[in-house]
């Protein structure tokens, strides 16, 4: 039996892509797409030629997070062309192919695997320094297929995103074992939504009266700070939201012998940037989370 023609075609297509990074998570909703999107923005800002491939077929959120909703992909004689945010940041997602963003994609395994292979085979990326692949959550058939396809072309490794709660960490352990079993190096684990952090000036303040009434006193507090100590307004206030007594992702990484890349706080400014399809790194707009994300990227 000769080599798999799909794998040969994928290897040919990927020959112009220097590095491939898979972004994984054990659960949905932990911020995998957010991290994939911001990582791509950051790498592009560093002048790398970047591709972002969204194969989270059942919940493609990448077009929105990159500000590309409603865009369509075009086909040329070279293949499917990615949609470009900037000349050095191209994006491909199933989201571009759905006529209606509200439509549920209910596809069985073989069809999903077929589409993933097609993405890898038919998208014309041109010369890329890095291809970031946003995978679906969990460890399913699709993951084995993705890994097999990418390994044939040299996969650098995987970043695993989790939240600090035990329930999420249990799934990350499965994710790490999956990587070990299929021979994918774990580049590191990111603990996302690790505490809440934002400038003090973005908080709302409520006074609860003896009668139990809630009064919004935000303007009074802010005015007091402006008058008495304006430097307080720029402080980043943070708070542990989830129980981290178990040591969180850092401890799990030590136990499993994989690198810990760092913590990213739950940051309403980052959530807004993601909703509006913006990079969190421009104009110091995500003061609480952008430095954390930057330090993670420096470790890669």
Residue (49 or 163) nearer to ligand ADP, CB? 163
According to the annotation, is 27 in a ligand binding site? yes
Cite the DSSP H helix spans in 46-108: 62-65
Classify 233 as helix, strand or coil: helix
- Please report how close the Cβ of residue 148 comes to ligand ADP at its closest, in angstroms: 23
What are phi and psi for residue 74, nearest 5 degrees?
A: -115, 155
**Angle at CA 184, nearest 5°, toward 91 and 29?**
55
Closer CB to ligand ADP, residue 28 or residue 126? 28
Q: Is 33 annotated as a binding residue?
A: yes
* Closest distance of CB 65 from ligand ADP, Å: 7
Binding residues for ligand ADP, rule: CB under 6 A, are 25, 28-34, 61, 192-193, 264, 266-267, 270-271, 274, 289
Asked if residue 61 belongs to a known ligand binding site, the reply is: no
Cβ proximity to ligand ADP, 11 vs 24, nearer residue: 24
CA atoms of 27 and 250, how far apart (whole Å): 18
Shortest distance in whole angstroms from residue 102 CB to ligand ADP? 16
Whose Cβ is closer to ligand ADP: residue 11's or residue 94's?
Answer: 94
109 is in an annotated binding site: no
26 assigned binding-site residue? yes
Between the alpha carbon of residue 247 and those of residues 147, 164, 241, the distances in Å are 30, 9, 14
Query: E-assigned strands of 107-250?
Result: 128-134, 157-162, 186-199, 206-208, 214-216, 236-239
* Residues contributing to the annotated binding site for ATP: 26-33
* Residues contributing to the annotated binding site: 26-33
């Amino acid at each position: 039996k000769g080599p798999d023609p799909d794998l040969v075609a994928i290897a040919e297509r990927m020959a112009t892509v220097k590095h491939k990074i898979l972004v994984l998570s054990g659960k949905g909703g932990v911020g995998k797409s957010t991290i994939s999107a911001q990582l791509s923005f950051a790498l592009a800002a560093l002048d790398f030629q970047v591709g972002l491939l969204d194969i989270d077929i059942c919940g493609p959120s990448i077009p929105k997070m990159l500000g590309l909703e409603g865009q369509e992909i075009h086909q040329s004689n070279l293949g499917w062309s990615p949609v470009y945010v900037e000349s050095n940041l191209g994006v491909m997602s199933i989201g571009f192919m759905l006529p209606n963003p509200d439509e549920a994609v209910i596809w069985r395994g073989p069809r999903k695997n077929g589409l993933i292979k097609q993405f890898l085979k038919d998208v014309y990326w041109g010369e890329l320094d890095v291809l970031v692949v946003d995978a679906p959550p969990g460890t399913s058939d699709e993951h084995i297929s993705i890994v097999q396809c990418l390994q044939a072309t040299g996969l650098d490794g995987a970043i695993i995103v989790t939240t600090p709660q035990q329930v999420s960490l249990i799934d990350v352990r499965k994710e790490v074992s999956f990587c070990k079993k299929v021979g994918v190096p774990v580049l590191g684990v990111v603990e996302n939504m690790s505490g809440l952090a934002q400038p003090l000036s973005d908080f709302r303040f409520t006074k609860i009266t003896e009668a139990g009434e809630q009064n919004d006193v935000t303007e009074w507090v802010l005015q007091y700070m402006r008058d008495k100590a304006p430097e307080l307004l720029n402080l980043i206030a943070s708070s542990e939201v989830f129980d981290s007594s178990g040591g969180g992702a850092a401890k799990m990484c030590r136990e499993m012998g994989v690198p810990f890349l760092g913590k990213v706080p739950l940051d309403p400014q980052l959530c807004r940037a993601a909703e509006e399809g913006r990079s969190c790194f421009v104009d110091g707009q995500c003061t609480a989370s952008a430095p954390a994300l930057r330090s993670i990227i420096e470790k890669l």
